[in-house]
Structure 1
């Protein structure tokens, strides 16, 4: 048997060991919980920082805003939904603005997902007498190098228009060259519509039927004359006619290739469809029942609200900061 002294010593040792184990377990548990809490805290702070950063990007420095005809800010999805319910979408761009070209591509992607083989594209930047080589490019009979060296392309083609043309090629979407060859627009600028009457039948196939309808009192055309006069320069009465023959020819080739049940998206400088004039006027003049949606592009010092000068000029207005970098 153990003596009382040895038994007491044994109990003290057991208490000391047990207390030590308990302390060790508690310490490990506390440390483990601390590590979990630290990890949770780190992740929480990361998510919070990311949220603040994204919120700042969205609210403090937005790259664009879209406004409807009433001047209310709307999401891109609203534009897509409205565009999917019409016959023709006229997307007026600022030629050197990267946001315009990016949204043109994104709108094309979104509408292609809905309409597939019913979607058609066309653009001011491609002249009607280039239709053959464009179709050869779309059918992959001509490579990029030959196409870009032989077709008459704008200086910003590679950055701004090539992505849409390539998307059309890769997805089998028709792409129509709608604009009048620039040499014939220059002829109108010098000699009026009469100058076109001496062209050959072959040349005339690239132009809207003559004589084109023309209303010099339309504010857009009238404004061109007033602008020249206001600047103290020589007033060329043919200048708005040169603009009109472009509008008429683009409308002509849109209608020539459009058919009921299709959706045609056309890209052009915003002036060609602002105030529902230009291309819109010629389309409606030939087919009043067409459902047309117009998009205007504008630059403003702030995109927080739609300025009065840009209000009511289109069904949707794309507003971009005037400090946005340019493509050329």
Structure 2
């Protein structure tokens, strides 16, 4: 049973760490309700419209000006969505124009990858070595290459902000106490503090997993928290040692929404830091935002599953697959 829950969690990594959105099929009847004041084409996957925290459509330039003084800009994404990844590259270029000390922080690389990334940015190795010597996601070339290339061309830092799949698997199986049993070298790859106490984020996670609190789900929540805590720790520690930097961090939307994931853990470590949140939202079902967030209105991706006979986990990208067993 626990193995089945972990398989479902692997599927959640792909779809659950992103925002919930209407499928094309379910939302097709709502096209006539889209406001003409929001100039987004609902029939392409490359168009987007930025909505300010005040609920007003704004341009990319206006947004970049609005967040240029924030210490951290958290960009939530629907993984593999073309418009989101186009927006990320355009925003990064605009922020780099405004602050030459911009830093790109990424969920899509883990802490052990940092040395290889640094060598790539310095021109010591090529892209083939970058991909073969790191745990880069399989959609790197299509979705994240543009971001890293901006950093490479402009001499910017890229942070491998995430923890590892092995640690996530061990936490999912055994809970937070397993960290103490790991070698010191492995412990460096996860945040020193994992806050798994009850709260709105935990309630949202458990609801998304479709279950009540249990030992199995407690372990899965610890794994979820390990991502958020490790990314937050990576970000705050870099800002401590590099004052004046601005960090743009890209991660699945679930980690960003409402400031409950990464942002709350950044502020727990340093309440003086300022953050901006950007989350995607379906143009076919625009949800009201909150005062904290910019929204990126985009067309929904195609449905991943259309019948109960399909195996949800079989279609997951390889970056979602955890090791079979915890080695510790």
**Shorter-chain TM band:** 0.7 to 0.9
Structure possessing the higher radius of gyration over alpha carbons: 1
Cα distance between partner residues in 1 of 2:163 and 2:291: 25
User: Are the counterparts in 1 of residues 82 and 143 from structure 2 also a CA contact under 8 Å?
Assistant: yes
User: Residue 153 and residue 137 in structure 1: after superposition, are their counterparts in 2 closer, same or farther (change >3 A)?
Assistant: same
| Higher fraction of helix | 1
Q: CA deviation at 1:324?
A: 7.4
Cα distance between partner residues in 1 of 2:150 and 2:259: 28
SS in 1 for 2:276: strand
Name the residue aligned to 1:307. 287
Cα distance between partner residues in 1 of 2:268 and 2:202: 16
Cα distance between partner residues in 1 of 2:280 and 2:291: 10
User: Are the counterparts in 2 of residues 93 and 270 from structure 1 also a CA contact under 8 Å?
Assistant: yes
Is 1:208 aligned with 2:197? no
SS in 2 for 1:120: strand
User: Are the counterparts in 2 of residues 97 and 325 from structure 1 also a CA contact under 8 Å?
Assistant: no
Query: Which stretch of structure 1 is more off in the superposition, 134-143 or 317-326?
Result: 317-326
Is 1:238 aligned with 2:216? no
User: Are the counterparts in 1 of residues 108 and 162 from structure 2 also a CA contact under 8 Å?
Assistant: yes
User: Are the counterparts in 1 of residues 258 and 293 from structure 2 also a CA contact under 8 Å?
Assistant: no
Number of residue pairs matched? 263
Cα distance between partner residues in 2 of 1:177 and 1:242: 18
Name the residue aligned to 2:204. 223
TM-score by length of 2: 0.74
TM-score by length of 1: 0.74
SS in 1 for 2:218: coil
Is 1:61 aligned with 2:45? no
2:54 is aligned, of 34, 48, 70, to: 70
Cα distance between partner residues in 2 of 1:179 and 1:323: 25
1:316 is aligned, of 289, 294, 300, to: 294
Is 1:296 aligned with 2:279? yes
Q: CA deviation at 1:216?
A: 2.3
Name the residue aligned to 1:268. 251
Cα distance between partner residues in 1 of 2:207 and 2:39: 40
Q: CA deviation at 1:153?
A: 1.4
Q: CA deviation at 1:270?
A: 1.0
Which of the pair has the greater relative contact order for Cα pairs under 8 Å at 6+ separation? Answer: 2
User: Are the counterparts in 1 of residues 81 and 301 from structure 2 also a CA contact under 8 Å?
Assistant: no
SS in 2 for 1:236: helix
User: Are the counterparts in 2 of residues 90 and 265 from structure 1 also a CA contact under 8 Å?
Assistant: yes
Q: CA deviation at 1:61?
A: 2.5
Is 1:90 aligned with 2:74? yes
Cα distance between partner residues in 2 of 1:229 and 1:121: 34
User: Residue 99 and residue 324 in structure 1: after superposition, are their counterparts in 2 closer, same or farther (change >3 A)?
Assistant: farther
Unaligned stretches of 5+ residues in structure 1: 1-55
Q: CA deviation at 1:78?
A: 1.9
Unaligned stretches of 5+ residues in structure 2: 1-35, 305-316, 318-328
User: Residue 261 and residue 189 in structure 1: after superposition, are their counterparts in 2 closer, same or farther (change >3 A)?
Assistant: same
2:231 is aligned, of 227, 250, 260, to: 250
Q: CA deviation at 1:79?
A: 1.0
1:167 is aligned, of 147, 150, 156, to: 150
Q: CA deviation at 1:273?
A: 1.4
Is 1:130 aligned with 2:113? yes
